[in-house]
Amino acid sequence: MSGIIFDLDGTLIDSAPDIHLGANAMMRSEGLPELSFDEVKGFIGKGVGALISQCLAAQGVDETPEQVARMSRLFHEIYETEIRLTTLYPNVESTLTGLKADGFHLGLCTNKPEGPTHAVLRHFGIDHLFDAFTFGDGPYPRKPDPAPVRHIVDQLPARDFLYVGDSETDAATAQNAKLPMAIFTQGYRKTPIEQLYHDAHFDDFAELRPIVDRLVPLPE
């Protein structure tokens, strides 16, 4: 059997507008100027703590543990329920459904906390498609450490795996875990694709299945 492990933000969903909303709510709560959408979008991918640190650094603020804790609490309060602006990328649902129906085991490996992850997956009706999960607030290091990916590999009854993500963090994660990598090019990546570890790239989820069949085909 074969397994496919997906990133979430910037890969399956475009959550940048809601993350931008939450980030600026944090900044206002500290009496700090708001950040542009492009600034915040560039900070996505390494978890809430890294997001807060980069938001503060962008305004020249030296963070303190107390400040980060306050901002983190507020961000989580907003982010647990704020999904009005988040969208599913085109052809994601049909592609995941088709892969699942054909016998692939699907995993989700994200640096997003568990609560918001399940909330957004339920919102789009795709939570039942995944057989294993790892989250940014789980008992293991965050990506690009390979530990969360290896945790999913250990949970799934599959021999061959493909990692699908959009960012520098995802490419490094796949490389560290020694898995083949397919990059979704419409996400939050800033580095030119040719400079990142990958075996294939695609612009639309309708293009993913041939890549899967080439890199981790199901047994005949």
The pLDDT score that the predictor gives to residue 219 is 64
Q: How buried is residue 181: exposed, middle or buried, by Cβ count under 10 Å (0-12/13-18/19+)?
A: buried
Domain boundary assignment for the chain: 2-14+86-215, 16-79
Q: Is 7 a catalytic residue?
A: yes
Q: Per-residue pLDDT tens for 27-85?
A: 999 999 999 999 998 888 777 888 999 999 999 999 999 999 999 888 888 877 778 88
pTM of the predicted model, to two decimals?
Answer: 0.87
Q: Which CATH superfamily hosts domain 2-14+86-215?
A: HAD superfamily/HAD-like (3.40.50.1000)
Band the pLDDT of 217: cuts 50, 70, 90.
confident
Q: Per-residue pLDDT tens for 119-132?
A: 899 999 999 999 99
Say which CATH topology domain 16-79 has: DNA polymerase; domain 1 (1.10.150)
Among the options 7, 14, 166, 170, which is catalytic?
Answer: 7
Sign of CA dihedral 198, 202, 208, 214: negative
Q: How far is CA 179 from the centre of its chain?
A: 17
